[in-house]
Structure 1
Amino acid sequence: MAFFSRDYEVFLLLAAPDAAPLWQAAQWTPFAAGLDGLIAQARGKAGVRSHQYNPKGKSIAFGRLGWNATSHAKWTHTAETTEARFMSLEAWAPTWTVCEKDDQAPDVFLALANESLLGLAGKPLQFSQRLVCAIATDMGPEAAATLQAALAQLAARQDAVVFARTHRQWGRASAYGGFTAAIQDMLIGGLFRQDDPHARPLDDAAFREPWERLAPASA
């Protein structure tokens, strides 16, 4: 099986404009705890990387990050965080280096972005955060259900304006060899038909791919 041809359940969550940022420790800690068992089922340890900047625009180095309390504490924000501007986060289980070595896409993938730092400063936003999560279908329906349940709870807490899922392969074969349109590229360049998703309604026509809308968890 080619790297890109593995099948996935992919979930999308767009948080309300006033939702508490998921990169805050108080928000991330319970969400991550709900995924700990799922991450542990992966064929290798997870790797995490976060792009954040200081007020002068210099990238902040966090060193090697994994999926554990010590690593979470390094990149998440608290009331004492004043010198970091969160832009994005990726988590691969197993790490991207293992995936490359195995020539197999990850078992679990997660990507998060801060909408206000995506070149839209000063514009009214329809949502404040983008979150894409994917789990390989060969991990089994119970694993996919666990991920969906955790995201449904998050969607309720964040009053998500969009909570949806789709089924697709990791990428699509390219006529020039290799693959394109990978799940890892969806977050920034692969979700919307227009460059500015805040300029039109978030209906089906706004998205590049078909998404099935899901209900958040009930209170």
Structure 2
Amino acid sequence: MAFFSRDYEVFLLLAAPDAAPLWESAQWTPFAASLDGIVAQAGTRGKAGVRSLQYTPKGKPVSFGRLGWDEKSHAKWTHGPATTEARFMSLEAWAPAWTICEKDGQAPDLFLALVNESLLGLAGKPLQFGQRLVCAIATDLGPAAAATVRQSLAQLAAQQDAVIFAHTRRQWGSASPYGGFTHAIQDMPIGGLFRQDDPHAHPLDGEAFSEPWTRIGPA
């Protein structure tokens, strides 16, 4: 099986503009704990890897060193009351880590990406949502794993008063005529979700998105 041809259940959550940031430790810790079992299941291939892009007030990248999916790593990159020198931009979590996926020639069992909307060049503009979260779970892990992820995200969607909570099923990517693959799930959070460069200037209807999504209602 080609790296890009693995099938996934993919979930999209767009948090309300005034929702508490998921990168705050008080928000992230219980959410991450709800996915610990899935990450552990993926651990049969190797440890998970996490990378976070954050900046100082002067615009310099913040270095966190190697990050995994554990309490010590979570404490390094999440924000608390004393955090003043970091501006959160984005987060990616791969289980197993991207280096293992590349070595195995197989896409991750679980992928999660979080983006801070206010740092995407939209400062001063009214936002329809404040955070983007994309989470994908491989279908070959079984329906119970997908159900666990869906339940965790449904709880988060309620907490964040999500303006969009939706689902699709797709492969990790699609074959490129030039070799390799394109339109990967990992590219969705920044450049692959919306048809327009500024999604806040248009209604969040079916025409807004680059591919079809099925909305999930309140539990």
Compute the TM-score of the two structures, normalised by the length of structure 2: 0.98
Letter in 1 for 2:19: A
Matched residues in 2 for 1:176 and 1:63: separation? 35
Letter in 1 for 2:139: T
Give the aligned partner of residue 6 of structure 1: 6
Instruction: Report SS of the residue matched to 1:142.
Output: helix
Describe the superposition over 1:61-100 as per-residue Cα deviations: whole angstroms up to 9, x where unpaired.
0000000000000000001000100000000000000000
Aligned CA-pair RMSD: 0.5
Give the aligned partner of residue 16 of structure 2: 16
Describe the superposition over 1:6-35 as per-residue Cα deviations: whole angstroms up to 9, x where unpaired.
000000000000000000000000000000
Give the aligned partner of residue 69 of structure 1: 71
Give the aligned partner of residue 106 of structure 2: 104
1:185 to 184, 187, 207: 187
Matched residues in 1 for 2:150 and 2:50: separation? 21
Give the aligned partner of residue 89 of structure 1: 91
Matched residues in 1 for 2:33 and 2:171: separation? 27
Question: How many residue pairs end up in the alignment?
Answer: 217
Give the aligned partner of residue 27 of structure 1: 27
Consecutive unaligned residues in structure 1, runs of 5 or more: none
CA contact (8 A) 1:163 1:215 kept: yes
CA contact (8 A) 1:163 1:216 kept: no
Letter in 1 for 2:181: F
Identity of aligned residues (%): 80
Q: Please, which moves more after superposition, 38-47 or 87-96? A: 38-47
After superposition, where does 1:147-166 map in structure 2 within 5 Å? 147-166=149-168
Matched residues in 2 for 1:150 and 1:215: separation? 14
Give the aligned partner of residue 128 of structure 2: 126
Give the aligned partner of residue 175 of structure 2: 173
Letter in 1 for 2:17: P
CA contact (8 A) 1:112 1:129 kept: yes
Q: Does the alignment pair 1:54 with 2:56?
A: yes
Give the aligned partner of residue 212 of structure 1: 214
Instruction: Report SS of the residue matched to 1:192.
Output: coil
Give the aligned partner of residue 80 of structure 1: 82
Consecutive unaligned residues in structure 2, runs of 5 or more: none
Instruction: Report SS of the residue matched to 1:164.
Output: strand
Instruction: Report SS of the residue matched to 1:186.
Output: helix
Matched residues in 2 for 1:47 and 1:178: separation? 23
Instruction: Report SS of the residue matched to 1:208.
Output: coil
Compute the TM-score of the two structures, normalised by the length of structure 1: 0.98
Moved over 4 A (4+): none
